[in-house]
Structure 1
Amino acid sequence: MGVTTFTEEISGPIAPARIFKAGILDSHNLLPKLLPDKIKSIEVHGDGGPGSIEQINLAEGGPFKCIKHRIEELDKENFMCKHTLIEGGVIGDKIIKVVETVKFEASPNGSVCKITSEFHTADNSEVKEEEVKIGKDMAIGIAKVVEAYLLQNPNAYA
């Protein structure tokens, strides 16, 4: 088995506690409302903590019906979540899982979201840029939509 790791940083004007609450802790309620053309619903199987499975049911017409994440770690005090993509998306014969760690840290202008993605392959094959781009573009897009919502609604998740 091979592992390829990628990192990404996204800066934004929202405080870490607030964007973590909205984008991570309440994502199952908020994201289907903000992105109805992409996300039909999010079902949480479990209590929302480690070991829980999030099933993201995608809107019709996309390449996948759903994707599933297993929550590995959830640190509410340090604004960190680690989850594993276990079904859908890039998961297949070559990529067997993707472990993603998302951490929000304070910055002078709001926060920095640090994302580390580990692509675990069935063999030692290399992960292609287009496979990484799918998840990267989705993460950035979701972060910007949540950020815009919080800017327009200053009392939400305060």
Structure 2
Amino acid sequence: MKKTHYLLLIISSFILNSCSVYNFTGTGKIDAKTYQVNFFPNNSDLIEPGIDRTFTLTLQDLIQNQTNLHLVKNGGDLMYEGEITDYRISPMTATADQKAAQNRLKIRVMVRFTNKNKEADDFEKSFEFYYDFPAAQQLTGATKDAAIKEIFERITQDIFNDSLAKW
């Protein structure tokens, strides 16, 4: 009977220990307690008002929702900074009479990530994604909002994966 209790105790301790090493977001064990996301200015040739603020808030929200880290204005253990380097609309496919059938919005963001507790994790890297839309539509209103939302969700998730999840 005592052997069974010891065996259950050992198995329970292994299960509890393994839960603290991994969580459902894949971030594993993070040595940081705070993070900061500096403003990402739009330095692209084509300026779209407001996307700099939208991107900064989207990145802050993603990290806040997927980790237990606390957002701080300065002095964070993890720091994200950079700029939007490209915002471009270009034709993708053509019709028989040489008109665009589909256009693509592409956004590229340069990110500098710094981990004060583990310098080996630091990087400077570009992330980009795109959104295709019919050439008959103008990139305004709901189409523009949907495009920017989808692009920023993808880019911020890629940044999260490279900086914290190590996927």
TM-score between both structures, scaled by the size of structure 1: 0.30
Higher RCO (CA < 8 A, seq sep 6+): 1
Larger proportion of strand: 1
Which of the pair has more CA radius of gyration? 2
TM-score between both structures, scaled by the size of structure 2: 0.29
